[in-house]
Amino acid sequence: MTDQPTEPSVSAVHDAPRPPVADRAAFQAELDRLRVREKAHTREGDAIAAARRRLRWSKSIRELRSPERTGRSR
């Protein structure tokens, strides 16, 4: 057993280091750079999803049968 709590205490959240204060222009410039990165990330995720949708389908390993066709109940 440990003496550590399972959830962070409120004081741990309040004592966390805060980012430095910047002027509006510096903040906006950094925000614009982050948006460029976020958009590139989104486009890459979209490209991966599109490639996944274009994958060829494979046959199922087992044949699916409905109870109505076989006449048996499960």
Express each pLDDT in 13-70 by its tens digit.
778 888 889 999 999 999 999 999 999 999 999 999 999 999 988 776 666 666 665 5
Could you give the number of structural domains in the chain?
1
Is residue 71 domain-resident? no
Categorise residue 71: left if φ over 0, alpha if ψ from -120 to 50, beta otherwise.
Answer: left
Domain range for residue 43? Answer: 25-50
What is the pTM for the complete model shown?
Answer: 0.52
In a domain, 70, yes or no: no
Q: Indicate whether 46 belongs to any domain.
A: yes
Asked whether residue 29 is domain-assigned, the answer is yes
67 domain residue, yes or no: no
Instruction: Answer whether residue 2 is part of any domain.
Output: no
Element (H, E) at 49: helix 24-53
